[in-house]
A and B are shown apart, each in its own frame.
Chain A
């Protein structure tokens, strides 16, 4: 089945620093989604990407759909303490495959 490798598994950064994380897939995806999850809550959608090469921003967050369609990147600029949480990438290949495949997540800790 489809597999998503998300890295890094965890990050410890200082407030104000920029952050980068990425996901790679074993197969081509038509859609990439990035979510953030706070403890005890469900994932919240941050950015959705639908086209290879697409670069989309949401405030301090920027995500890109890789040209090969097998990877995606999320960048957070000027991190703040409320950025703490687990970030997940997810993707699907469309067609009759209705389920999203999720990465294992990147745990982000921001030291004030």
Chain B
């Protein structure tokens, strides 16, 4: 069974631009969560989607948004990029909420 797939693997953007990251969950998994990982803050929860509905949201500004499609694939978007948005963005899927998460390899975003 294929794991969680995230694309692209690396991204370089400049301040003010926007970016869209993609995540394909493990087949059969309906819950997709997004995390931001930085050396200083560790893993920070962004949001979680289940059956195309956002179930929970972390403490991030409105510039961070996401969505989930009917096939459970998910995207997250960051608008008006700031230098501090440079991080590894991780997507994780699970069969349902409150189940163990399986992570993708992440998208490394660098904002210049």
Bitwise, B86-112 to A at CB < 8 A (1) or not (0) is 000010100001101111111010000
Shortest distance from the beta carbon of B8 to any chain A beta carbon, whole Å: 14
* Number of A positions contacting B (CB below 8 A): 25
Q: Is the interface of A mostly helix, strand, loop or mixed?
A: loop
* Range class of the B interface residue count: 20 to 34
Bound: A13/B102 CA distance, A: 28
What 18 additional pairs, Cβ within 8 angstroms, besides A42-B90, A45-B101?
A31-B100, A33-B101, A35-B103, A41-B105, A42-B92, A42-B105, A43-B43, A43-B90, A44-B103, A45-B100, A45-B102, A94-B98, A98-B33, A98-B55, A99-B48, A100-B33, A100-B101, A102-B42
Which residues of B does A touch, CB under 8 Å?
A: 4, 6, 31, 33, 35, 42-43, 45, 48, 50, 55-56, 58, 90, 92, 97-98, 100-106, 108
